[in-house]
């Protein structure tokens, strides 16, 4: 565990910038400006998004063209993967404010090429010290989910800013101030609103309108910013400037933190909205007590590769890891596509049954992490899978502490509970071979819908990832709220090594479907021979120990669906699953960055020196 270490930085020289990458300037209307948002410089237009880039010198893949450009610029100027990842994350706080930012948290996985070692940071949001298991109950009943989301009650102590500082202190070469400055300028100058940003704002319009500070920022003139207009966030630029001058203490022990806790305790709602929002209990002391946890990664051996992920409080590493251990029983490279998909779905179904029963915050519950990741436990679960019929969900969990020799389930199934569907993932590699795989979030798209007045960022609703009431009567639930406890996550930033060297890295947003997205992309790549770019593009299906398997539209009606249905699988539509990014090292030593061609409006992959 790490203590907070603050690097005090003097104001550093010259602004780094978008310069090389952001050459053209778009003179577009400034409809997105906040009332205080008039700035002299027009928004910069980055290079168009592309889902694949191959070359040398370093690579970045994120969902945002501006954020990827900023990361590439850091690499080009000699920064390493951690420097670039933090700068990219800070920029995502500007262009993806509904999915990330200093009001949220996340999980950071780092491969150090010199040490040939993988490290992780758990920057998950944390419940206030006064929380107990009744955080989301009233009159003995669980609160309605959306009532909880749009409230101070759902806001966890944010971890992202301290994660950035911790990562820079441990492995970076640049200061926090240097890393924030490009994003500060991006917030000041603005970016051009695309369809995805417009649509995400429109989806949130009603609840954003409850909160005056949010409406003023994201609903200029009472409506979502028009596609093609420029969105500026001078309040966020000023917040980043304050952090550049005063360091993370401005948030964890200073006035930004006081503004956060004051808003959580006294949410400011438009009286005309008729909305009543529950206050939360977060205090300045909760912010001061926050720590980023440095902990060992999860690790499994899959087809001779070492797959590293994030340990609890996320369920990502254990669930992806257990499913891979199960899949070690099947030769997915030399079987039909239908049989491969069947094995993938069944392994995921089983791993979710175990995840739901056993994984929570390890500071509060005895999570059998090592046992969940053991091949012996996976062996005792893999034998449930039959080639010609599907298992039925909900499937009961196994007991990793006492894996039986036979295929016997150990108890009552615990349901897969609701989780948000948005977040963001970035992947960075540098010229020295260091790699970052980082997933960050504010939970729902738009988080709690509460913008800190005058600060330009939304607060998370991460505490709604707790179970509101015990999942199964009479069975211990590892994911009930508790004091200073972290809600279980599904985030699965992953780094894969071959013979101790970087091979590829990936991650995705998507709530609990993060786990299945990572698992599907990873197996499509490793077993089915697709490049990472191709593996990211294929239609996704997601089985999370639910009666029906979710499938994207392109999968429904396919021969693969027919083949799986014939052996008992049932499908339901999910319009879009995940928004992955990744980087792979090609056999000739070049890097290939990969992002989504279509999902979430497409992602942005780039390299420092593109191949000729």
Active site residues: 423
> In angstroms, what CA-CA distances link 41 with 109, 190, 508, 540?
36, 9, 34, 42
Whichever of 198 and 600 has its CB closer to ligand GLU, that residue is 600
Question: How far apart (Å, rounded) are the C-alpha atoms in residues 182 and 240?
Answer: 10
What is the dihedral sign for C-alpha 126, 496, 606, 196?
Answer: negative
Whichever of 95 and 423 has its CB closer to ligand GLU, that residue is 423
CB of residue 263 to ligand GLU, shortest distance in Å = 20
Tell me the three state secondary structure of residue 544.
Answer: coil
Whichever of 229 and 298 has its CB closer to ligand GLU, that residue is 298
Whichever of 264 and 491 has its CB closer to ligand GLU, that residue is 491
- Are residues 155 and 464 in contact, defined by beta-carbon separation less than 8 angstroms? no
Whichever of 318 and 380 has its CB closer to ligand GLU, that residue is 318
> In angstroms, what CA-CA distances link 284 with 246, 252, 258, 262, 307?
17, 8, 6, 9, 39
CB of residue 491 to ligand GLU, shortest distance in Å = 5
Pairing of strands 591-594, 581-585: antiparallel
- Write out the two tokens for 275: 């909305």
Mention every residue, 6+ apart, whose C-beta is less than 8 A from residue 316.
107, 309, 310, 489, 490, 491, 492, 493, 494, 514, 515, 518
Whichever of 349 and 355 has its CB closer to ligand GLU, that residue is 355
Q: Give φ, ψ of 401 to 5 degrees.
A: -75, -25
- Residue identified by tokens 């933190």 is 257
Residues interacting with ligand GLU, by CB under 6 A? 419-423, 441, 443, 462, 465, 489-491, 509-511, 514
DSSP line for 261-325: HHHHHS----GGG----------HHHHHH--PEEEPPEEEEETTEEEEEPPTTBSHHHHHHHHHH
CB of residue 505 to ligand GLU, shortest distance in Å = 18
CB of residue 509 to ligand GLU, shortest distance in Å = 4
CB of residue 265 to ligand GLU, shortest distance in Å = 23
Question: How far apart (Å, rounded) are the C-alpha atoms in residues 290 and 342?
Answer: 43
580 sits in the region (left: phi over 0; alpha: psi -120 to 50; else beta) called: beta
Sheet (strand 571-573) strand order = 541-542, 549-551, 571-573
Whichever of 33 and 63 has its CB closer to ligand GLU, that residue is 63
Whichever of 246 and 488 has its CB closer to ligand GLU, that residue is 488
- Write out the two tokens for 305: 């590769």
What is the dihedral sign for C-alpha 519, 524, 526, 531?
Answer: negative
CB of residue 422 to ligand GLU, shortest distance in Å = 4
CB of residue 153 to ligand GLU, shortest distance in Å = 16
- The 3-class SS string of 435-484 reads EEEEEEECCCCCCCCCECCCCCCECCCHHHHCCCCCCCCCCCCCCCCCCC
CB of residue 487 to ligand GLU, shortest distance in Å = 7
> In angstroms, what CA-CA distances link 478 with 381, 414, 463, 475?
21, 11, 14, 9
């Amino acid at each position: 565990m790490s203590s907070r270490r603050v690097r005090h930085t003097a104001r550093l020289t010259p602004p780094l910038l978008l310069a090389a990458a952001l050459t053209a300037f778009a003179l577009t209307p400034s409809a997105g400006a906040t009332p205080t948002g008039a700035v002299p410089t027009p928004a910069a237009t980055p290079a168009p998004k592309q889902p694949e880039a191959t070359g040398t010198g370093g690579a970045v893949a994120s969902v945002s063209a501006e954020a990827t450009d900023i990361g590439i610029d850091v690499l080009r100027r000699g920064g390493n993967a951690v420097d670039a990842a933090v700068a990219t994350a800070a920029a995502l706080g500007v262009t993806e404010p509904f999915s990330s930012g200093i009001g949220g948290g996340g999980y950071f996985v780092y491969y150090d090429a010199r040490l040939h070692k993988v490290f992780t940071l758990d920057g998950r949001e944390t419940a206030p010290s006064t929380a107990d298991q009744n955080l989301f109950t009233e009159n003995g009943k669980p609160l309605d989910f959306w009532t909880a989301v749009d409230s101070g009650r759902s806001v966890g102590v944010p971890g992202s800013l301290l994660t950035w500082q911790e990562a820079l202190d441990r492995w970076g070469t640049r200061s926090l101030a240097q890393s924030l400055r490009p994003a500060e300028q991006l917030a000041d100058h603005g970016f051009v609103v695309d369809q995805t940003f417009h649509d995400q704002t429109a989806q949130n319009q009603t609840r954003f309108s409850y909160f005056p500070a949010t409406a003023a920022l994201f609903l200029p003139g009472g409506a979502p910013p028009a596609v093609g207009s420029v969105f500026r966030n001078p309040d966020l630029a000023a917040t980043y400037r304050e952090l550049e001058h005063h360091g993370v203490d401005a948030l964890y022990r200073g006035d930004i933190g006081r503004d956060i806790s004051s808003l959580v305790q006294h949410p400011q709602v438009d009286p005309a909205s008729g909305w009543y929002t529950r206050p939360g209990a977060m205090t300045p002391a909760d912010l001061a007590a926050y720590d980023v946890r440095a902990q060992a990664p999860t690790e499994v051996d899959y087809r001779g590769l070492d797959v590293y992920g994030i340990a609890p409080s996320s369920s990502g590493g254990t669930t992806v890891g257990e499913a891979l251990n199960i899949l070690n029983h099947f030769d997915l490279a030399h079987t039909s596509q239908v049989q491969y998909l069947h094995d993938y779905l069944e392994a995921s179904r089983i791993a979710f049954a175990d995840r739901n029963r056993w994984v929570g915050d390890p500071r509060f519950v005895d999570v059998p992490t090592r046992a969940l990741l053991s091949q012996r436990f996976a062996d005792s679960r893999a034998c449930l899978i039959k080639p010609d019929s599907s298992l039925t969900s909900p499937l009961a969990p196994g007991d990793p502490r006492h894996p039986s020799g036979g295929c016997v389930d150990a108890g009552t199934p615990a349901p897969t509970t609701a989780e948000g569907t948005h977040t963001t993932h970035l992947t960075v590699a540098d010229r020295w071979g260091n790699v970052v795989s980082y997933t960050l979030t504010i939970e729902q798209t738009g988080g709690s819908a509460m913008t800190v007045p005058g600060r330009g960022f939304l607060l998370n609703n991460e505490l709604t990832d707790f179970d509101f009431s015990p999942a199964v009567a009479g069975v211990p639930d590892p994911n009930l709220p508790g004091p200073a406890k972290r809600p279980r996550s599904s985030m699965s930033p992953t780094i894969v090594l071959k013979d101790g060297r970087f091979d590829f890295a990936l991650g995705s947003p998507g709530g609990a479907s993060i786990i299945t997205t990572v698992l599907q992309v990873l197996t499509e790549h490793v077993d089915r021979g697709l490049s990472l770019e191709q593996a990211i593009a294929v239609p996704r299906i997601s089985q999370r120990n639910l009666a029906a398997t979710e499938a994207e539209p392109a999968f429904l009606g396919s021969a693969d669906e027919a083949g799986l249905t014939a052996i008992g699988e049932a499908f339901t539509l999910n319009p879009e699953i995940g928004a992955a990014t990744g980087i792979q090292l090609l056999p000739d030593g070049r890097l290939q960055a990969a992002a989504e061609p279509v999902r979430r409006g497409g992602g942005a992959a780039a390299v420092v020196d593109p191949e000729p």
